Amino acid sequence: MPPEPVVPTAPATEPESLREAAPDPLDAHLLEQATAHFEAGRLQQAANLNRQLLEMTGVPAVRRERALWSLAMIHLLPESPLHDPGRARTDLARLGEDHGESIRGAQARWLLTLLEELDQVRGQAAEQAELLEQLTATVEQLRRIDLNRRPSSGPGGRLESPRRPE
């Protein structure tokens, strides 16, 4: 009798609970660290980690998007040591272009619109302040002219009214 054919058996698999979880990729770890630094107010460290993540290749779009949003916020915050509204606008524009269909992309476009409107309102306020200064100066000049034209009062402090002929 010929020997029975050997049937390969499926490799034994470990139950999921016994398998080691795959370590997080470096970009996920960087993003977690950057987020922790941002939340703790260490904006310089957060910005450095976000830039490092953005310079890496093969980073999933969702992580790149979060890093870019974080950088834009760091540059936009007035209390940030890296406050740079121009850079924030560049980051927001890039976010809107690269991730336009995402929620953050839409938020970036919306925020850029708000910033443009804010610039217009600030410009109008500056123009109005300048006009107010000019008007105040004009009123002051007119007041001085009016004071110089008024007849001075006599020694008694009263102005004599002209007498009518009787």
Torsion angle defined by CA atoms of residues 122, 126, 131 and 135, in that order, rounded to the nearest 10 degrees: 110
**CA nearest to 26, candidates 45, 52, 2, 44:** 52
Q: What is the pLDDT of residue 66?
A: 95
Q: How far apart are CA 118 and CA 128, in angstroms?
A: 15
Provide block-wise average pLDDT over 10 residues at a time, the chain (166 residues). 59 50 73 95 96 92 94 96 96 94 94 96 97 96 89 58 62
How far, in Å, CA of 141 to CA of 147, rounded?
10
d(CA 43, CA 40): 8
pLDDT the model gives residue 19: 47
Please tell me the predicted confidence (pLDDT) of residue 18.
46
Task: Tokens for 23, please give them.
Answer: 């370590």
Domain ranges of the chain: 26-115
pLDDT of residue 128: 97
What pLDDT score was predicted for residue 158? 54
Q: State pTM to two decimals.
A: 0.66
Q: Which CATH number is correct for 26-115, 1.25.40, 2.60.40, 3.90.1690, 1.10.530?
A: 1.25.40
Instruction: Count CB atoms within 10 A of the CB of residue 29.
Output: 13
Residue of 117, 104, 17, 111 whose CA lies nearest to 61 = 104
Given this model, what pLDDT does residue 159 score? 55
Q: 3-14 burial string, b = 16+ CB within 10 Å, else e?
A: eeeeeeeeeeee
